[in-house]
Amino acid sequence: GAVVSQHPSRVICKSGTSVKIECRSLDFQATTMFWYRQFPKKSLMLMATSNEGSKATYEQGVEKDKFLINHASLTLSTLTVTSAHPEDSSFYICSVGDWETQYFGPGTRLLVL
Amino acid sequence: AQKITQTQPGMFVQEKEAVTLDCTYDTSDPSYGLFWYKQPSSGEMIFLIYQGSYDQQNATEGRYSLNFQKARKSANLVISASQLGDSAMYFCAMRVNAGGTSYGKLTFGQGTILTVHP
């Protein structure tokens, strides 16, 4: 299966700062990547679809100016949480794949103080 | 709109026994895919098994099998010969064929926490 990495695995930041999370597809050329968010002991919720070379598609209720997505190459998508606040603290996880399989990265735990 | 329901918040099973995790779904799209993922405490999402809506046979992967009952819209996961390492959160997910790049847009159930006792 595809190998997906995320960096950082864990980040703590102060309220008001911006945090960038990288998602790399190590062995799969991904024109599309997906960003999910998960609160403790809850389900995963799709935030946005990252499209290589074009704008991301955001799910209803997700602020595009708050969660900036850049997909500059077939192997890298970044999610930037701008002006982070404590309510943005969550587990962020990306995925790549094909019709029958979606492979997920190891996730990034964000804690905003 | 599609919906996935997992009605078991927690399940307990004795080591070496089999366990069934329930999943029901709802969609009006005739073409869809059903997935099961395992999420241990580390947080990583581990792909377990996939069933396509047009697949005639139930999917199997090692100790995992998917009991696909299309008319009942259920896709239960059966884990045989449970091991201590199977203790984790399990998610059922669905993808509908909405065209374009939607194949990666998974809708997840609420999850079931499985605990395997020695």
Indicate left, alpha or beta for B82 from its phi (over 0: left) and psi (-120 to 50: alpha).
Answer: beta
From chain B, the residues in CB contact with A45 under 8 A are 108
Peptide bond into A8 cis (omega under 30): yes
From chain B, the residues in CB contact with A33 under 8 A are 104
The CA distance from B109 to A101, in Å, is: 17
Closest CA to A106 of A4, A14, A32, A36: A4
Q: B41: distance to nearest CA of chain A, Å?
A: 10
pLDDT tens digit at each of 118 positions of chain B: 789 999 999 999 999 999 999 999 999 888 899 999 999 999 999 999 999 999 999 999 999 999 999 999 999 999 999 999 999 999 999 987 666 655 668 899 999 999 999 9
The CA distance from A85 to A93, in Å, is: 18
Residue type present at position B10? G
The CA distance from B113 to B9, in Å, is: 6
Nearest by CB: A51 against B50, B101, B103 = B101
